[in-house]
Amino acid sequence: MESPIVPKLEKTVISAESAIEKVEHLFKPLGKESRGESNEITIENESIKASFLYEDLKFDINTIPKTEEDFIGTDLDVNDRALIRFLNFETEKYSILQNFILENKKDGSKIDLNKELGENNVYVKKGGNTVSGSASHSLNPYIKLSIEPKTAAGILVLMHEVGHKKDPAIDPLEIMLVALGKEKEESVLQKEMIDRERYAWAYGLSKLRPYIKGLNCTLEDLDIFVHQWNLGSYSAYINTDLIKD
């Protein structure tokens, strides 16, 4: 009998290297970049404008722990400890994304990240231009990006991670129980993983629909970037028989 997971898997799966080669233009700047007096960054082309600001991370201690042992004897609270772990003890490589606004110059519609995220903070890797490593924390109000939102790929990944935060099926208590060893069957966990990834991509793409032209994305680009590569990597993880090029 066919597994109930199989219909949810991508039928065409390609490697990251192949995907990047096919959609290389999605990793290039969206347009001309400028900076305002307050260091606000603006990137725009004929169709869209993205505006945002980076802020340095601040902690109550000067020396940030680099290992779990370094936490011993510090006065860092549980939230700071969780954030440092989430950033893989590399806080110096990240900035906080502030006031991100994506505007459609044709009709004036906007995505205001602050309204989308509420109390959640986005931490962006300085100079980052890779998809791997971006994540949304399931229990804390954190998102980290390994790619700056200066390119179509960066904005796609950003809105995908926002989609995880908007997912009504994510239950923090359930996640804690699984983490504590109250494991579900592997097949159930795999199916839920695919469901959550599909929801997050669907949410992000629905929000970005009015901006796709300005992002220089075609339906073929999205099929490669979202389905064959990103969702495809999860499919390949579950079914190792899927062919990669």
pLDDT per position as a tens digit, 202-237: 999 999 999 999 999 999 999 999 999 999 988 887
- Which two three-digit tokens encode residue 181? 């060893």
The DSSP code for 183 is P
Look at residues 26, 94, 37 and name the one whose alpha carbon lies nearest to residue 64. 94
3-state secondary structure of 102: strand
Asked if 33 and 43 count as a contact pair (C-beta separation under 8 A), the reply is yes
Q: How far from chain centre, in Å, is Cα 221?
A: 18
Nearest to 228 by CA among 240, 245, 214, 241: 245
Confidence (pTM): 0.89
Can you give the pLDDT at residue 155?
Answer: 97
Count of other CB atoms within 10 angstroms of residue 215: 22
- Mean pLDDT of successive 10-residue segments in the chain (245 residues)? 60 92 96 91 96 93 91 91 96 96 95 91 96 91 96 97 90 62 61 86 96 95 95 81 51
In terms of Cβ atoms closer than 10 Å to its own Cβ (0-12, 13-18, 19+), residue 151 is buried
Identify the pLDDT of residue 161. 96
Apex 206 CA angle, 192 and 117, nearest 5: 75
3-class secondary-structure state, position 198: helix
**CA-to-CA distance for 214 and 20, rounded, in angstroms?**
19
Antiparallel, parallel or unpaired: β 41-44 and 94-104: unpaired
Q: What is the pLDDT of residues 99-120, one digit of tens each?
A: 999 999 999 999 999 998 888 9
CB-based contacts of 137: which residues, under 8 Å, 6+ apart?
A: 82, 86, 143, 144
